Chain A
Amino acid sequence: MSKHVRAIVIAGNGTNCERETAHAMRLGGAEVADIVHISELLAGRVLLEDYHFLHLAGGFLDGDDLGSAKAGANRLLHAPVKGSGEHLSDHLRRFIADGKLVMGVCNGFQLMVKMGLLPALDGDFRQTTTLTFNDCGRFQDRWVYLKADPASPCIFTRGLQGIYLPMRHGEGKLVVDSEETLARIENQHLGVLKYSDSEYLAPTMEFPLNPNGSTAAIAGLCDATGRLFGLMPHPEAYVHRTQHPRWTREENLPEAGMGLWLYQNAIRFIREELL
């Protein structure tokens, strides 16, 4: 047990991607990848502290009715954990303080940003950034090229030049509360993935390469420790060749999809640093 990488995906109230996410974590090397309904955590029957890797999956928490992931963030902040006198967010903070990994994809990324977990510039989990409606005014499902920042502290993207993934969202435009916030994100290399051209040469603001008009073309953010990471596109949806939109014509695609790299990096890190 002690040498097992234990990963958890929280499900319920509108998460949609928990199954493929757990599958991606297993393919990436996690011995345990549990899908846990939030009611199990709130009932105190499952504890976050028993895991190394928390994944907040894509979906529409509470229908995104108050803005993407807003009601979901409110629940994590205020819902009590039975018998502990604490909220789930208290457990989450301890998890983070223990140096464990948290990754949010799409709605999970929106949740992290709205809880202030990203970019967490001062480590105080105050919200400085948000994800809001795409400039095109529409939900979009399309594949995007993401250029990785090699100077980023992000442990998930280590060794990556670029990555090709599907994005599927209506609220993925990153907006910051001030120029200063953006400067700090850029200076610390926290905007680790940016929408780019197909050669991963330069970030772009051009639709549809940048599908939402995101500030500084940012598609993914990490915190200064590199252990908290979120992105709008879906790495769990490209873990096998046949998920690529052109696998019937591009003959030299490797069997494993690019999205798997992020999970492999995370799990390698856990094995080396946390076990």
Chain B
Amino acid sequence: MAWRIEVALKEGIRDARGERVRREIREHLGIELEEVRTLDVYTVDAALTEAEIEAAATGPCSDPVIQQAAVNRPLADHFDMLIEVGFRPGVTDNVGRTAREAIQYLTGRPFAPGEGVYTSVQYLLRGHIDVAAAERIAAGFLGNGLIQRWTIIPAVDFDRARGVPVQVPKVVSSAEPRVMAIDLEVSDEELLRISREGVLALNLEEMKAIQSFAANENNQARRAAVGLSNRLTDVELEALAQTWSEHCKHKIFAAKVHYDDGTGRTEVIDSLFKSFIVRVTRDVRAAKGEQDFCLSVFKDNAGVIRFNDEWSLVFKVETHNSPSALDPYGGALTGIVGVNRDPFGTGMGARLIFNTDVFCFASPFYDQPLPPRLLHPRRIFEGVVEGVEHGGNKSGVPTVNGSLVFDDRFAGKPLVYCGTAALMPARIHGRPGHVKRALTGDRILMVGGRIGKDGIHGATFSSEELHEGSPATAVQIGDPITQRRMFDFLLVARDRGLYNSITDNGAGGLSSSVGEMAEDTGGFELHLDRAPLKYPGLQPWEILISEAQERMTVAVPPEKVDEFITLAREMDVEATDLGQFTDSGYYHCLYGGQTVCYLPMEFLHQGVPQLQLQARWQPPVLQEPELSQPLDMDATLRHLLGSLNICSKESVVRRYDHEVQGATVLKPLVGIANDGPADAAMIRPLPDSFEGVVVAHGICPRYSDIDTYHMMACAIDEGLRNYVAVGGDIEHVAGLDNFCWCDPVQSDRTPDGEYKAAQLVRANQALYDYCLAFGVPLISGKDSMKNDYQIGDTKISIPPTVLFSVIGKIDDIRRGVTMDAKRPGDLVYLLGVTHDELGGSEYYAMRGHLGRNVPRVDAAGALQRYRTVNRAQQRGLLASCHDLSDGGLGVALAETAFAGGLGLHVDLRRVPVAAELREEALLFSESASRLLVTVRPEQQAAFEELFTGQSCALLGEVTADQELRVVGLRGEILIRSAIDDLKEAWQSPLREM
């Protein structure tokens, strides 16, 4: 029978969660309540004695100091409306899993199959509210209908003896395993219907390729030999759809692009990926020669570079946009724990050392009507931030670097970038740590979580725009603890030499992980019925492609399987032998001994037809606005400091543990009050060495509205500028490109596809040009190409966005520099030239314009500057160094001043320019490659000598009076603001988030 344990706070104990919920209901829905209290509910569906359930209730499930617990008796009282929110059947319930384990320890016996613990939260609301309003609260804030369900009971209807009826959200399925054969000898329309209704996301050409494979007589003969008919099975069709999905195959980046550059010149680009990304890395590595530090690029789950003789650095950045749009918390949590598995599963395995995250949202204060199925940006903000908080903090990986970028077009799809770096022994058992290889005969071991229906069609779903029928099963909820246990185990297994190869189960599940590893041997044999399931009733194809989280696939030599499984069991980790790697040439799956999938590896991996993409560049017709200069420049600067893209993100940063592992030596918040905005983070991963890792990023989607070529160039420069500002070595830095685009395939639904494709080409051209010029190899990256929302006539496409992340090295962390002004009397210098480049700037956006003059990057000049900055840092000549980005010089001056708790006195007439500029351009132009530095007076000569021949201007000095004073072009005081006022303007907008 099922028991219900309710846990409530004792009288007089503050309910911080309830208070927060009340506040959020007011913010999100405008409903004012007198009080919200919360209860935790455990529904225990297991054969326990009354004494055992009591012991569970008063033991692990409640805290005797602050809580009371009751079994099968309601604790709700003094409320007007009760809302209880629990999970739908099959949704990952981490608390329920932990409660189940705790009860097993308590009773000393395992739960029987089918028994379980399910959790829900009861909200007791006081105030004037009816059932309709309660429904709005439940659906609009407390729960998410995709993954949760709720019960609403007004006080008058509440049964005070029995309480809320017991509900057991157990997955009940009577479905017998069944393999369907699909007839593909049908019309083109029918082929497309099969693709669409099966969420296969295959286009006609791809469906026809599969059709002709099935019709081929040789294939039919081989199939007959293993007992398969001429019709493909559902398992086979799903395997092909996963492997050929945009998400896994990157068909747009692999496409043949017919590019017209707008002047009538056309060219054919055979794969953007190969022509720009792979090529620039190859060219940079060749140019570096002996100094090349790349170890493994593009071929593994993450890129690997050299750190020192003993250790290598691994880095990967992923996006998790579509799931985060549907369930922000679960989507983002899965995003972070998912990207954790990429560096972990690179080479022979690596230990995680930090996370990064960048989110692109619409304004949380957005007040326009939203089209159907879109969650309010504030809810997305809350959910994503909390998901990454739980994922990162619980995993014990510090979140050291990130950004929040705002543009209302991200209401259509939020972008959730999550990155993770790891440290890998340069050699493991005498072989390079970044090399792995499954051998014929190795067993296929699946390790970690069990398989459920979660995340089915995740890979194909994210290869489409968000639409009415987007499947709820595409949503998963990560489980950081199951993953942590698995990682602890796998590092021990690695060091004991128990496996030959390892990879992560991400998009496409077993289908992708086993399929990819089997390329080493040329085939595999996988027994789907041996896979451990969360609940019965999964079809063979579902087992193959489920994206249930926290799983790795490992190739274990047969003689080590026993030791591997024994170690796993001791460390509370499930490991299951599912079959073996072969050299048969076949992707071979069985269920109950019967073959259910038999596809040639070659067809699977090479058979997808190359996409043809039309691209035509047409420069947008834009002009510079005619603006009058603001009368009150102090107010303008404060206003700009308070814009969402510039203002302080401290409330979010503090929710992320950025110091666990004790290695974060330059933290995200710096300065006299630990609250200034750091340009980049620095990690000292080895406690016995002063060598450090520096990580930074650049992202500037607004420039895409003018020209994606310069957007890309500026993002690269911004990433490197931030990196160099703190001391990162410009000669030892690698880049990762993460493209998030709107659909660039011309169609009725996307009439401007050719333009979007041209934007993609131009961004790639800049990626090649600037990485080559800066000498920065690309080591990994990812693309997410369908970031559109389309329901009915409403279409929202995100601005083309590239996150350019950089990772590199500093030889001695003690040479690190922060951005805060340090001492009165220090000299203030500006490095780099300011141009009339307000196009796409925060300043123009604030005044409602886009403009035309987008910043352009002079890579040669920038590289010389960055090298010189490195030399100045090595000689200890920089007291502070801060990059100029959004908001230009004005914002950088203000931040340097208030982060240091000091004033600045500077003169705009000294700012180096190529041509005469107005004051607002001097202050707010976003020209690239500029840095603001402060220098001790006694080091003036040495500093200036170092920068001889470069653009380096003494603007003024640091003052003790805590005032920012800027002298304008006519010699008058243009800005005179107390730094506290500037800081308040900068801190207030998101302080309460």
Question: When the two chains form the complex, which single residue of B98, B396, B667 contacts A71, counting CB atoms closer than 8 Å?
Answer: B98
**In the complex, per-residue mask of B658-673: 1 if CB is within 8 Å of any chain A CB, else 0:** 1111111111011110
Measured CB to CB, the nearest residue on chain B to A67 is B63
Q: Which chain B positions have C-beta within 8 A of A114?
A: 63
List of B residues within 8 angstroms of A15 by Cβ:
396
* Residue A143 is within 8 A (CB to CB) of chain B in the complex: yes
Give the Cβ gap from B419 to chain A, nearest Cβ, in Å: 19
Contact between chains at B65 and A141 (CB < 8 Å) = no
What is the distance, in angstroms, from A83's C-beta to the closest C-beta of chain B?
14
Chain A min CB distance to B98 (Å): 4
Stretch at the interface among A17-25, A153-161, A221-229, A266-274: A17-25
Q: Does A78 contact B (CB under 8 A)?
A: yes
Scan residues 861-881 of chain B and give those whose CB is less than 8 A from a CB of chain A: none
Residues of the A chain whose Cβ atoms lie less than 8 Å from the Cβ of B105: 74-75, 77-79
Chain A residue at minimal CB-CB distance from B488: A12
Q: Which residue of the partner chain B has the closest CB to A213?
A: B14
Is B818 part of the binding interface, using a Cβ–Cβ cutoff of 8 Å?
A: yes
A32 interface residue per 8 A CB criterion: no
Q: Is B17 an interface residue (CB 8 A)?
A: yes
Name B484's contact: one of A14, A132, A166 (CB within 8 Å): A14
Q: Closest CB-CB distance, B614 to chain A, in whole Å?
A: 49
Given contacts A142-B674, A239-B662, contact A37 B488 (CB under 8 A): yes
Per-residue CB contact flags for chain B residues 12-53 toward chain A (1 = under 8 Å, else 0) read 011011011000000000000000000000000000000000
Please give, as numbers and ranges, the residues of chain A lying within 8 Å of B76 by CB-CB distance: none
Which of the segments B401-409, B457-465, B809-817 contacts the partner chain? B809-817
Q: Which of B396-447 contact A (CB under 8 A)?
A: 396
Find out whether the CB atom of B817 lies under 8 angstroms from the CB atom of A12.
no
- For A137, give its contact among B20, B62, B101, B665 (CB under 8 Å): B20
- In the complex, the answer to whether B655 meets A140 with C-beta atoms within 8 Å is yes
The interface stretch among A1-9, A55-63, A95-103, A117-125 is A55-63
Q: Quick one: closest A residue to B668, CB to CB?
A: A141
Q: Does B635 interact with chain A (Cβ within 8 Å)? A: no
Bound complex: CA of A138 vs CA of B106, how far in Å? 31
Task: Tell me if A65 and B95 are in contact (CB < 8 A).
Answer: yes
* A186 close to B (CB within 8 Å): no
Q: What residues on B are CB-neighbors of A127 within 8 Å? A: 63-65
The residue of chain A having its C-beta at the shortest distance from the C-beta of B394 within the complex is A60
B393 touches A13 (CB 8 A): no
Are B660 and A65 in touch, CB under 8 angstroms?
Answer: no
Q: How far is the CB of A142 from chain B (nearest CB, A)?
A: 6
Q: Are A175 and B66 in contact (CB under 8 A)?
A: yes
Our pick among B13, B480, B658 for the contact of A141 (Cβ within 8 Å) is B658
The chain A residue sitting closest to B901, CB to CB, is: A249
B572 touches which of A39, A73, A249 (Cβ 8 Å): A39
Chain A, residue nearest B900 (CB): A249
Q: Which residues of A contact B570 (CB under 8 A)?
A: 39, 43
- Residues of B contacting A175 with CB < 8 Å? 13, 65-66
Q: Which residues of B contact A245 (CB under 8 A)?
A: 667, 669-670, 674
Minimum C-beta distance from A36 to chain B (A): 12
Complex CA distance for A58 and B398, rounded to whole angstroms = 13
Q: B16 and A135: CB pair below 8 A? A: yes
Closest residue of A by beta carbon distance from B663: A20
- A79–B101 Cα gap in the complex (Å)? 11
- Are A242's CB and B684's CB within 8 A? yes
**A66 pairs with B820, CB closer than 8 A:** no
Chain A CB within 8 A of B561 CB? no
List, in ascending order, chain A residues with CB within 8 A of B634's CB.
none
When chains A and B are docked, how far (Å) is the Cα of A79 from the Cα of B572? 12
Please give the distance in Å from B389's CB to the nearest CB on chain A.
6
Let me know if B672 and A246 touch, CB within 8 A: yes
Residues of A within 8 Å of B813, CB to CB, are 242
Contacting residue for B818 out of A14, A130, A248, CB 8 A: A248
Question: In the bound complex, do residue A60 and residue B60 qualify as a contact, i.e. CB atoms below 8 Å apart?
Answer: no
Closest to A26 in B: B687
In the assembled complex, A236 has its CB within 8 A of some CB on chain B: yes
A124-136 CB contact bits vs B (8 Å, 1 = yes)? 0001111011111
Within residues 44 to 87 of chain A, which ones have a CB less than 8 A from any CB in chain B? 58-60, 62-67, 70-71, 73-75, 77-80
State whether B816 touches A248 (Cβ < 8 A).
yes
Interface positions, chain B 646-691, Cβ under 8 Å from A, are 653-667, 669-672, 674, 684, 687
Complex Cα–Cα for A246 and B901 (A): 13
**Residue in chain B with minimal CB distance to A15:** B396
User: Is A139 in the interface zone, CB < 8 Å from B?
Assistant: yes
With known contacts A43-B570, A75-B105, A62–B481 Cβ distance under 8 A: yes
- A225 CA to B826 CA, complexed, in Å: 52
Contact check: which of A63, A70, A137, A166 meets B94 at CB < 8 Å?
A: A63
A180 on the interface (CB 8 Å rule)? no
Contact flag A140-B654 (CB < 8 Å), given A75-B105, A134-B16? yes
The answer to whether A33 has its CB under 8 Å from any CB of chain B is no
Q: Tell me whether A23 and B674 are in contact in the complex, defined as CB-CB below 8 angstroms, given that A17-B662, A74-B59 are known contacts.
A: no
With A70-B63, A79-B105: A135-B14 Cβ-Cβ less than 8 Å = yes
Contact A71 B571 (CB under 8 A): no
CB of A114 to closest CB in B, whole Å: 7
Given the interface contacts A12-B571, A17-B396, A71-B101, does A139 sit within 8 Å of B389 by beta carbon? yes
- Contact indicator A132/B66 (Cβ below 8 Å): yes
Say yes or no: is B102 at the interface (Cβ < 8 Å to chain A): yes
Contacts of A66 in B (CB 8 A): 60-61, 95, 98-99, 102
Which residues of chain B are near A23, meaning CB under 8 Å? Answer: 662, 687
Instruction: Name which residue of chain A comes closest to B105, CB basis.
Output: A78
- Residues in B neighbouring A249, C-beta threshold 8 A: 671-672, 818, 820, 822, 900
CA distance A168 to B397 in the complex (A): 13
Do B661 and A137 touch across chains, with their CB atoms under 8 A apart?
no
Q: Give the chain A neighbours of B593 by CB distance below 8 A.
A: none
Say whether B394 contacts A141, CB under 8 Å.
Answer: no
Q: Inside 8 A of A213's CB, which chain B residues have their CB?
A: 14
Asked if B108 is an interface residue, CB under 8 A from chain A, the answer is yes
Contacts of B572 in A (CB 8 A): 12-13, 39
B94 touches A65 (CB 8 A): yes
| A262 CB–B CB distance under 8 Å | no
Contact of B99 among A58, A65, A234 (CB under 8 A): A65
The interface residues of chain A lying within 8 Å CB-to-CB of B653 are: 141
Other-chain residue from B60, B65, B659, B820 in contact with A130 (beta carbon distance below 8 A): B65
Interface status of B534 (Cβ within 8 A of chain A): no
How far, in angstroms, from A143 to B16 measured CA to CA in the complex?
22
B88 within 8 Å of A by Cβ? no
Q: Is the Cβ of B657 less than 8 Å from the Cβ of A168?
A: yes
Q: Does B208 contact A (CB under 8 A)?
A: no
Residues A207-262 near B (CB distance < 8 A): 213, 234, 236-237, 239, 242-243, 245-249
Q: How far is the CA of A60 from the CA of B657 in the complex (A)?
A: 12
The reply to whether A142 and B654 form a contact with Cβ atoms under 8 Å apart is yes
**Binary flags per residue of B94-118, CB closer than 8 Å to A gives 1, else 0:** 1101110110011010000000000
A64 contacts which chain B residues (CB < 8 A)?
394
Does B485 interact with chain A (Cβ within 8 Å)?
Answer: yes
Q: Nearest chain B CB to A145's CB is how many angstroms away?
A: 12
Closest to B9 in A: A132
Closest chain B residue, CB of each to CB of A63: B481
Would A63 and B657 count as touching, CB distance under 8 A? Answer: no
A130 touching B59 in the complex, CB below 8 Å, given contacts A139-B655, A245-B674: no
Taking A14-B396, A17-B396, A168-B659 as given, write out 12 further A-B residue pairs in contact, using a Cβ cutoff of 8 Å, ordered by the A residue number.
A12-B488, A14-B480, A16-B395, A16-B660, A37-B488, A43-B570, A129-B65, A132-B66, A139-B393, A177-B65, A237-B660, A249-B900
Q: Which 7 A-B pairs have the closest CB atoms?
A: A16-B396, A20-B662, A65-B98, A130-B65, A74-B60, A78-B105, A137-B20
A-B contact pairs, 10 of them (CB 8 A): A13-B572, A16-B660, A20-B661, A71-B60, A78-B106, A177-B65, A237-B662, A243-B662, A248-B666, A249-B820
B binding-site residues for A, Cβ under 8 Å: 13-14, 16-17, 19-20, 59-66, 94-95, 97-99, 101-102, 105-106, 108, 389, 393-396, 479-481, 484-485, 488, 492, 570-572, 653-667, 669-672, 674, 684, 687, 813-814, 816-818, 820, 822, 900
